Amino acid sequence: MNLNKKLSKLGMEQVREFTQEEVRIVAENVTNKLTNAFPILDSQYNEILAKLLYCKMYFAENKGNINISDVNYLYENHSIIYEKGIDIRKINDKIIHECLHFIQDERATNDKLNKIGLFHFNELSLNGLGINEASDQYISSKSMGNFVDVVNKYDIIFKTISPNYYPILTNLIYQIMFLIGENIVVEGTINSKSKFEDIFLNTFEEKANTIRKSFDNIIIFNNNLIKEKNKKNINELKLKKITGQIRAEYFKAQNLIMTTYFKKMLKQINTIDEVKINVAKLENYGYWMGIDKNAPNIEYENFKEIMLHKFDDKMIEIYRKNSRNTLLVISNNKIIRFFKKLIKINKENEQERE
């Protein structure tokens, strides 16, 4: 699509294209912040920088659209738009977030968009949009050195590194990171050739798509909430209904992430060390969970109690198995030593006869 036509639809007007020097300033600063925050990306430094140096960037003037951010990646034009007046030397999480979208952009040979990071592009659905936005915002916030904050939103109290932008989604993505590893999610978000999606599907199995869909639904419900709040005549009942939808989707996703992961681990673990690692994860997991402002986190406490008993049983099972093997080895060693001693005695007797 023609850039000016696209900007016009967004209520914006192009001012000018970035100079190559301005592009370099953004590219270098963003790449440095990403790799400083995530050492796992060090080996991709040159690749990330090279991509951003070829990004088309423009200043544009907002003609009154209050619903649009001051930095936007336009996938139709494969370019990033900055609102006129932004100081590009002062990199923020919004700039990093939109640069990530550009880095993630993956197209077919006919220039048709296939995916943006964890978002598989389909004009008829949002498959993976929510989880990709959550991961991008987490990466952007951490790259800016943001600290974890406690937030009360939708009557849910939770911890997030991004209290002002996708707070509830960044909390959920960190719960996944806490369980399967931050590096796995970060690398998977930026590098399409990573194994994140395989690990995600193998870990959460038949619940993976439901969890991913919850991220997408939260994006949809949140957009509906913003639209409703921007109306001249706000319908409080509608706001309450949408807020309830967000809450329900959040708690559903959180519960599925927790229960699916630990039940899966219980089946997989084979060593006492693995039991200890998962028990520690389970006991610390509650710290990152969102809780209903008006109710204790009974669901987590009940699940934790049940699973801790099962992990205890698993440890006993592994210990008994190892103990039997140890006794068998000891027994076998005694038999071997006995035969060796018998052979030695026989040899000595033969030598005496000679």
* Statement to judge: residues 141 and 87 lie in one domain: no
Question: Tens digits of per-residue pLDDT, 99-151?
Answer: 999 999 988 888 888 888 888 877 667 789 999 999 999 999 999 999 999 99
Does 342 score more than 70 pLDDT? Answer: no
N-term to C-term CA, the chain: 103
Q: What pLDDT score does 189 carry?
A: 93
* Statement to judge: residues 30 and 152 lie in one domain: no
Among the listed residues 278, 271, 283, the one whose alpha carbon sits nearest the alpha carbon of residue 315: 271
* Statement to judge: residues 103 and 155 lie in one domain: no
pTM of the model: 0.88
* Statement to judge: residues 231 and 307 lie in one domain: yes
Domain assignment of residue 219, yes or no: yes
Domain assignment of residue 345, yes or no: no
* Statement to judge: residues 27 and 56 lie in one domain: yes
Q: What pLDDT score does 320 carry?
A: 83
Among the listed residues 307, 313, 314, the one whose alpha carbon sits nearest the alpha carbon of residue 282: 307
In angstroms, rounded to a whole number, what is the distance separating the alpha carbons of residues 64 and 221?
24
Q: What pLDDT score does 141 carry?
A: 98
- Mean pLDDT over the full length of the chain: 89
* Statement to judge: residues 162 and 230 lie in one domain: yes
* Statement to judge: residues 141 and 74 lie in one domain: no
The least confident of 40-44, 105-109, 216-220, 331-335 is 331-335
Sequence-ordered alpha helix ranges (H) in the chain: 3-9, 20-37, 45-53, 93-104, 129-143, 167-180, 182-190, 196-204, 208-229, 236-268, 272-285, 298-353
Among the listed residues 91, 100, 53, 40, the one whose alpha carbon sits nearest the alpha carbon of residue 72: 100
Domain assignment of residue 326, yes or no: no
Question: Tens digits of per-residue pLDDT, 285-311?
Answer: 999 999 998 887 889 999 999 999 999
* Statement to judge: residues 7 and 143 lie in one domain: no
Q: What pLDDT score does 351 carry?
A: 56
In angstroms, rounded to a whole number, what is the distance separating the alpha carbons of residues 115 and 106?
5
Contact 341, 296 (CB under 8 A): no
The one-character DSSP state at 293 is: T
Domain assignment of residue 139, yes or no: yes
Kindly list the distances between the CA atom of residue 22 and the CA atoms of 16, 29, 72, 333, in Å, as whole numbers in the listed order: 12, 11, 17, 73
Q: For the residues 261-268, what does the mean pLDDT come to? A: 96
Does 59 score more than 50 pLDDT? Answer: yes
Give the count of domains, the chain. 2
* Statement to judge: residues 21 and 97 lie in one domain: yes
Q: What pLDDT score does 350 carry?
A: 56
Per the structure, the complete domain to which residue 306 belongs is given by 129-315
Question: Tens digits of per-residue pLDDT, 193-238?
Answer: 778 889 999 999 999 999 999 999 999 999 999 999 988 888 999 9
153 — phi, psi (to 5°)?
Answer: -140, 140
Query: Who's near 209: CB < 8 A, 6+ residues apart?
Result: none
* Statement to judge: residues 142 and 223 lie in one domain: yes
